[in-house]
Amino acid sequence: MPSDALVSHLNEQIGHEFAAHQQYVACAVYYDSETLPQLARFFYRQALEERDHAMMLVKYLLDQDVQAVVPGVGAPQVAFTDILAPVALALAQERQVSDQINALAAHARSESDYTSEQFLQWFIKEQVEEVATMSDLLRVVERSKDDPMEIENWLAREHPGGEAGDPTAPHAAGDGA
């Protein structure tokens, strides 16, 4: 069973993941309002992934028979200076989450809580992908910010959606498993 201190940090992470969900919805709505549907779709999808991350943490705490707290979250940023800003914000956010996950894994290991450490391994791998995806997108948006249709075409080509779910992902609370 995770220690009280780790449970409290895991609950904080649930808050960070829900906050990331809200932030990505805000980014998606901004792009939707700018009639950039591929950028909007990309962020709506990212938002759902963040919700899943939160619910995976909830499921883990439930499975460990400790308290899972559904938190309130702060208001996301909803106004952006240009179409680059939401992606730059998202990359900074993903880097921050990587640090948070690494700190959680280090905490688990320091307490010889190998069960929690193992649970967190998937998130470590996921963060490598999320940072890479967001930094690729930032490069593309920087290169083509004066020609947003190039960005839209790139997203339609490289991130068409309908990607298969990751079979190694932890179950999320409410996913029926």
Query: Residues interacting with Fe ion, by CB under 5 A?
Result: 17, 50, 53, 130
Least distance from Fe ion to the Cβ atom of residue 75, Å: 19
Angle (CA) 169 102 25, round 5°:
60
Least distance from Fe ion to the Cβ atom of residue 1, Å: 24
Least distance from Fe ion to the Cβ atom of residue 24, Å: 8
The rounded Cα 141 to chain-centroid distance in angstroms is 20
Q: For Fe ion, which is the closer residue by CB, 45 or 145? A: 45
Q: For Fe ion, which is the closer residue by CB, 50 or 152? A: 50
State which residue has the least CB distance to Fe ion. Answer: 53
Instruction: Report whether 51 contacts 1 (CB < 8 A).
Output: no
Q: For Fe ion, which is the closer residue by CB, 17 or 113? A: 17
How much is the CA Rg of the chain, to the nearest whole Å? Answer: 17
Q: For Fe ion, which is the closer residue by CB, 130 or 152? A: 130
Task: Single out the residue of 148, 145, 106, 140 nearest to residue 123, CA to CA.
Answer: 106
Classify burial at 10, counting beta carbons within 10 Å of its beta carbon; exposed 0-12, middle 13-18, buried 19 or more.
buried
Least distance from Fe ion to the Cβ atom of residue 42, Å: 12
